[in-house]
Chains A and B, each alone.
Chain A
Amino acid sequence: MNSTAAAKRYNGRMIWLSLLYAAFLLFAVYGFKHHLVDGLLAWLVAILPALPIIGIFAAMGRYLVEEQDEYVRMLLVRQMLWAMGFALSCATIWGFLEGFDMVGHIDGYWVVVVWYFGQAIGGLANKLTLGAAAGC
């Protein structure tokens, strides 16, 4: 990760959102495990862990807007495009395999994990195509 002012703000937001995610997930699991929630509240509590993840997407978007270094911004966009292509490809392939009963069901939120893995591939692609100039 680059160390521009925008990147530092982004890292700070990511730490807070990750902590919030862990807290919300524990709260939701505890609530459902002990049958403390039902009806509309159950819906709200079930969605709760997703909110910080959505916040992470928003933080990424904000980082792209706030990043003043145009080259670093280009690297990020390239990385995100790789991640998007990889995640959508994996989801599509898995969807068809699942549809033809070749593999089991996987919960949809795993696509976010695959997307993060795609970010690593994007970073590697930047490194391979731009060498030392990729920098991150």
Chain B
Amino acid sequence: MENRLKVLRAERNWSQQDLGERLEVSRQSVNAIETGKYDPSLPLAFRIAELFDLPIEEIFVSPSRRSSKAI
């Protein structure tokens, strides 16, 4: 799933390791989410949203909205 995690992280000058520690997940988890190779569970998505103080849909791009835009 496309997301703005890398941009949000970069704005705060956090490394993937820093973000992983804040979310209590591994660095490779952050890497997998950022690159869209892994979609986080709803609880983890909420933790990410709460950390950045943003609604989930401002971090993760809904796949259905993305495909409807493409049409």
Contact = CB atoms under 8 A, between A and B. Distances in A.
Interface of A: 2, 4, 68-72, 74, 130-136
B38 A72 contact: no
Contacts of A133: 28, 31-32, 35, 37-38
A72 B44 CA distance: 13
A70 B37 contact: no
A134 B2 CA distance: 18
Interface of B: 24-29, 31-33, 35, 37-38, 40-41, 44
B44 A70 contact: yes
Nearest to B40: A70
Contacts of B24: 68-69
Contact of B32 (A2, A68, A130): A130
A71 B25 CA distance: 8
A69 B25 contact: yes
A13 B47 CA distance: 31
27 contacts: A4-B26, A68-B24, A69-B25, A69-B26, A69-B29, A70-B29, A70-B40, A70-B44, A71-B26, A71-B29, A71-B32, A71-B38, A72-B26, A72-B28, A72-B29, A74-B38, A130-B32, A130-B37, A130-B38, A131-B37, A132-B28, A133-B28, A133-B38, A134-B28, A135-B27, A135-B28, A135-B31
